Structure 1
């Protein structure tokens, strides 16, 4: 009987399925702990074992893991979801399995605590102040000057992050954030927000494994005031001097946070004064960036994470030296998604390796201003940046989204 590999919940953008497949390729039997299994259609479609359990109850999950351990053993515990990496770290520790330090993950997931730690260590971060009341948020924004970025202290996928250009916008958005008691996954959220200065410059993310920099990703954002990521290029086409600055900045940030185990995804802006760390995420990137890394470099970060969590040696050798790009499909407005034309045309573009839609015709669509606005993507891979980018944009331009107004 195969040894179990436990996943606590999953992200909802596709990587969760890749985690389960990697566990199977490593010879394990994946099992998904989920409060609501209906959130993960891929599990039933692929015959993945699912245990319905309250994933906010760590003791219940620990008991379930002990039952699995007595049956055929548990090789590892992890998650592809930002919201459950702390719980996974706690369970792994209590089961005597490899994993990151739970206290490091807890502090890193709180954007205020993370920023304070980075600033104390001398890392360059945007100016920021926490607020617990609307009056406080307004006063902070006025003292900082506009525009400011207003965001929750916990979150993922740009959920709740917005640029505010005046006091009215700050009041409106801060009121909305303070009103929320639970996030989009149904988890309780702290009654704290951050008001921070807008860092100006191109945005990048750095994909690391331990203290090894795997590569730098160029990120493209949609129009303000939202911060929706609309595309990525891996690796980023930047100068050697910029690459060195970013590399050193990120390693310093990881050291400041005490992070040295497993994957991390650090987002930053390359400003005139140098890199400014926006946030360090103690997990793999979302937005299919691990897939871009795999097809461009040959390094499978998802498989490496599974191996590490199971106590197996990692292999970060780079057999390929190509460029991969993704462009996300985002409807122009709200309504009912009727379908997308031009998929076959996009798929036929040279260097395109994948076109995918996340929604089915007839589903309602309402823009959120975050990752949930993305309804599909195209991925290309070429021998150089020019070819890969050209193919991605040509395929993206071929797809026409049909919407029916409500």
Structure 2
């Protein structure tokens, strides 16, 4: 009898190792397909040798999956992020495996198309315009009214996203996006959006079930580097119901509803406004927070869905879980003591983790790549959890020494 296996297409951040571990807990052999070493650094720590294949070539992937069928019982195919999720859907259809609708995922990943579909369904969203050149961007910004958000129509992690408060900033950021500095997977197209001001929330969904709503905060403008989250969000029952209703409207408008979805909101003067619908699990430590808060392991349940097994989304308990993202406040050399366990020793701290090694050069980019680590805590009380997080942050011995004139600085986006 062939060993059952789960194929994972590429990897992303700290979430991919969790998929590997979940697969193993379910008795599956994780098989990682990757195009290059920069995409599978996480595999070495999990003791996995990647199978190299051009993951941008659907036929090459299909041929590799067919070859693996000779040695394994392929139970499912999935991925941790959303970049390759349309590919996952197409492969699942070719091999008659459970998977997402690739057409729906592709429409959702195009932020302009997503906006059009949501607008057609009367889902509350910011005013928006599409532009292909600097003149169109400036005209759109003036029509919407400053300040505006200027961002690529594709991508994640706030890469290329900026708040522009005047036309000079609009012109500057547009020049950056269109001058070749930003990497585009297809023809450059820029989305200009009304700046929706208000508290940030994130609805986590599996299938068509609202698992919970997370509250969060990002760093100072003009960028949106996520810094803190708490689960569950401090909302009234009426506010939760409103966000849940809009979330389900998003699923219907975008023809989603298989597997994970996370929907970003701002609570404005007109209620919850949808910032973005992501056809994937929430990024960063969100899956861990949900497990701590409710005892629901969304990654394992996603793997179960991908292999055709029945999932279980029942809550086992109720706690307040929160995370603080450690973000560089300057460029320079990161220094920290990997042997310092004072923060980890605090009773309600679940995890203290750095993403980079000591003495790493840091150049800020204004997106998720500025994260250098996180601290997660959980307790029965939101106030206690927040207090524990702050104590842990104060105990972490880390600093960034500014570059000297003789240092060789790594290249970075402007």
Give the structure-1-normalised TM-score: 0.96
The offset of 1:343, in angstroms, is 4.3
CA RMSD of aligned residues (A): 1.4
1:333-373: CA deviations, max 9, x gaps? 00111225894222222311110111111211100111111
Contact 1:297 1:322 in 2 (8 A): yes
- Contact kept, 8 Å, 2:40 with 2:50, in 1: the verdict is no
User: How many Å apart are 1:40 and its aligned residue?
Assistant: 2.4
Question: What secondary structure sits across from 1:83 in the alignment?
Answer: coil
Which runs of no fewer than 5 residues in structure 1 stay unpaired?
none
Structure 1 segment 212-361 matched on structure 2, within 5 A:
212-340=209-337, 343-361=340-358
Q: Structure 1 397/289 Cα, relative in aligned 2: closer, same or farther at 3 Å?
A: same
The secondary structure found in structure 1 opposite 2:69 is: helix
Of 367, 372, 395, 1:370 maps to 367
Partner of 1:395: 392
Alpha-carbon distance in structure 1 between the residues aligned to 2:86 and 2:94: 13
Unaligned runs of 5+ in 2: 404-414
Distance 2:395 2:187 in 1: 43
Distance in 2 of aligned mates of 1:388 and 1:300: 20
Return the alpha-carbon distance in structure 2 between the equivalents of residues 341 and 44 of structure 1.
19
CA deviation after TM superposition for structure 1 residue 38, in Å: 4.3
Does structure 1 retain, via aligned residues, the 8 Å contact 2:321–2:385? yes
For the 8 Å contact 1:132–1:192, the answer to whether it is kept is yes
Q: Which residue of 2 aligns with 1:169?
A: 169
SS at structure 1 position matched to 2:336: strand
Partner of 1:9: 10
| Residue 136 (structure 1) aligns with | 136
- Runs of 4 or more above 4 Å deviation: 340-343
Partners of 1:46 and 1:78 in 2: CA distance: 18
Looking at structure 2, the residues matched to 362 and 397 of structure 1 have their Cα atoms a distance apart, in angstroms, of 20
Structure 1 counterpart SS, 2:188: coil
> Partners of 1:171 and 1:189 in 2: how far apart?
22
2:360 is aligned with 1:380: no
Q: Using the alignment, how far apart are the partners of 1:38 and 1:195 within structure 2?
A: 31
Aligned to 2:407: none
CA distance, structure 1, for counterparts of residue 399 and residue 275 of structure 2: 36
Corresponding position of 2:408: none
* Number of the residue aligned with 2:406: none
Query: Who is 1:79 aligned against?
Result: 79
Contact 1:181 1:188 in 2 (8 A): no
* Contact kept in structure 1, 2:206 and 2:260, CA below 8 Å: yes
Flag the 1:5–1:383 CA change in 2: closer, same or farther, 3 A: same
